[in-house]
């Protein structure tokens, strides 16, 4: 059962509509579906919301640290609520998938994603779930940092939003821990 869903992104208006904020955008869509309000929680260095999915209450967290320090916020809330890594779902942008692709996995490395790298360091574990939202790769010669910190084209936005909608539609099964069903649905 998932008790905490973390969306990765960067705080600030200049980053709101960037590829790197796919995790924040997912949580905003989820909070909208459940009519949840966000509250700034300084003790967790993040924006927190609680949503009542059919499988039970789930906390939503948007770290207010920058991406490469996401683990500070995640570590604090995990220790406070005594959560196990397998009760955590981290939603993030994924360069290895084209825009519009969304996939679920458990464990693994960080693949160069600084937000995941910091979370792994603060949790001392890689065994949390990840919901990866494809944003595609930059064209040859364009720096990855510049690419993820810019807004996608209108067509890419539509694909990314479609992927987010697909993930949100699976939220009750995700919270319930029915990961095989979610993987079958998202990966087909």
pLDDT of residue 157: 96
In which band, very low, low, confident or very high, does the pLDDT at 64 lie, cut at 50, 70 and 90?
A: very high
pLDDT value at position 141? Answer: 87
Topology given in CATH for the domain delimited by 4-187: Rossmann fold (3.40.50)
For the segment 171-180, the average pLDDT, to the nearest whole number, is 95
Catalytic residue status for 113: no
Q: Name the average pLDDT for the chain.
A: 95
pLDDT at residue 140 tops 90? no
Query: Residue 184: pLDDT above 90?
Result: yes
Q: Looking at residue 54, what is its pLDDT? A: 87
pTM, 2 dp:
0.96
The answer to whether the beta carbons of residues 31 and 168 sit under 8 Å apart is no
Residue 74 pLDDT > 90, yes or no?
A: yes
Q: With 90 as the cut, is the pLDDT of residue 78 above it?
A: yes
Kindly give the pairing relationship between strand 88-94 and strand 56-63.
Answer: unpaired
So what's the pLDDT on residue 134?
A: 97
Domain ranges of the chain: 4-187
Q: Is the pLDDT of residue 135 over 90?
A: yes
Average pLDDT value for residue range 15-24? 95
Catalytic residue among 20, 92, 113, 122: 20
Average pLDDT on 112-123 reads: 94
Q: What is the pLDDT of residue 46?
A: 97
């Amino acid at each position: 059962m998932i008790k905490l869903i973390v969306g990765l992104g960067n705080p600030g208006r200049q980053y709101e509509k960037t590829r790197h904020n796919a995790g924040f955008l997912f949580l905003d869509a989820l909070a909208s579906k459940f009519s949840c309000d966000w509250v700034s929680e300084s003790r967790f260095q993040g924006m927190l919301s609680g949503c009542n999915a059919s499988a039970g209450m789930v906390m939503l967290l948007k770290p207010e640290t920058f991406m490469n320090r996401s683990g500070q916020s995640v570590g604090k809330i995990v220790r406070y609520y005594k959560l196990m890594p397998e009760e955590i779902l981290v939603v993030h942008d994924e360069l290895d998938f084209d825009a519009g692709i969304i996939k679920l996995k458990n464990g693994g490395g960080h693949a160069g994603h600084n937000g995941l790298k910091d979370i792994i360091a603060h949790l001392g574990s890689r065994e949390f779930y990840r919901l990866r939202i494809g944003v595609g790769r930059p064209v040859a010669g364009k720096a990855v940092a510049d690419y993820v910190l810019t807004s996608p084209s209108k067509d890419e936005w539509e694909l990314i939003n479609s992927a987010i909608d697909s993930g949100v539609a699976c939220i009750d099964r995700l919270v319930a821990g029915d990961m095989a069903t979610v993987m079958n649905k998202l990966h087909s």
